[in-house]
Structure 1
Amino acid sequence: MAYIRKQAGYTLMELMIAVGIIGVLAAIAIPTYNNYIDTSCLSAARTNLETLASFEENYNIENGSYLAGVHTAGNNLVSSGLMAKLHWDPNDKDQYTYVVALNSASSGINYDYVVTVTGVASCAQANTTYGPTEQGYHQQ
């Protein structure tokens, strides 16, 4: 007497098709996710640049001068001289290095200060400069 066995599992062709579909989905999703991460890094950097500029203006009103300095990525409010004096603690302090330079006249316009942010680690593409111009505060 012959017994009929039920098939259990997937064939090799079915597995190859499933892996191919997953590969196509990953090829679409990964670049989109990376673009989302880059956009959020730039947004955080711009927000903190504007906040730092506001703190610089407040410091100038209270003390009659702007404050130059560097906030290195990874420092906290207590250990960073610039941040401690301005009472400013960036929410992305582990991802960026902030540099405040005074009286930069490289473009022919004499700025009172220029804030430059340089991304480190996952946000390395977020390199930008922000400061006062003749038209107000703008990214440069």
Structure 2
Amino acid sequence: MKKTLQNILTAKKGQQGFTLIELMIVVAIIGILAAVALPAYQTYSDRAAFSEVVLAVTPYKSAFEVAAQTGRITALADADEGTNGIPGPAGANGEVQSVSVTDGVITATDVNGVTYILTPNGVTAPIQWDPSGSCVAAGLC
């Protein structure tokens, strides 16, 4: 059977692609997904950046615990930065603005002014740390 030009044109007419409404639906779905995903990603990236601040207090925690276990500090008033094996104050480094220790309380601040505070329950083992600061309300720590 011979195909005519009319038959070929009729067959191609059924394969025209997507309609405008289908494309609009796809764009709307992508917009909704982006509206949900972007805030979640922002929170994730903020928490990842703040983890540098949480990590910066580790040497101070360890030094405090070692000093308490070895008897170098017998009261929280003895636990200040730069004394009894506890490191001195840390300056700005990456996301960390500062880290300090006063009476055993470790305070770290990030470049945005968000604080992470660790308070020990005393100087006798096992030492438990109570986290507080503006990072708790912000959901970063």
Unaligned runs of 5+ in 1: 74-93, 103-110
Contact 1:57 1:66 in 2 (8 A): no
| Moved segments of 4+, more than 4 Å | 41-44, 56-63
Of all paired residues, the percent bearing the same amino acid is: 28
| Structure 2 CA distance for aligned equivalents of residues 125 and 28 of structure 1 | 27
The change in CA–CA distance for 1:48 and 1:36 in structure 2 (over 3 A counts) is same
| Structure 2 CA distance for aligned equivalents of residues 131 and 27 of structure 1 | 39
1:80 — aligned with what? Answer: none
Contact 1:71 1:99 in 2 (8 A): yes
Deviation, 1:59, is 7.1
Unaligned runs of 5+ in 2: 73-82, 133-141
Deviation, 1:34, is 2.5
Flag the structure with larger Rg: 2
Contact 2:52 2:96 in 1 (8 A): no
Deviation, 1:19, is 0.5
| Structure 2 CA distance for aligned equivalents of residues 126 and 10 of structure 1 | 50
- What RMSD, in angstroms, separates the aligned Cα atoms of the two structures? 3.4
1:26 — aligned with what? Answer: 34
| Structure 1 CA distance for aligned equivalents of residues 35 and 45 of structure 2 | 16
Q: TM-score, normalised by structure 2?
A: 0.54
Contact 1:68 1:100 in 2 (8 A): yes
1:139 — aligned with what? Answer: 131
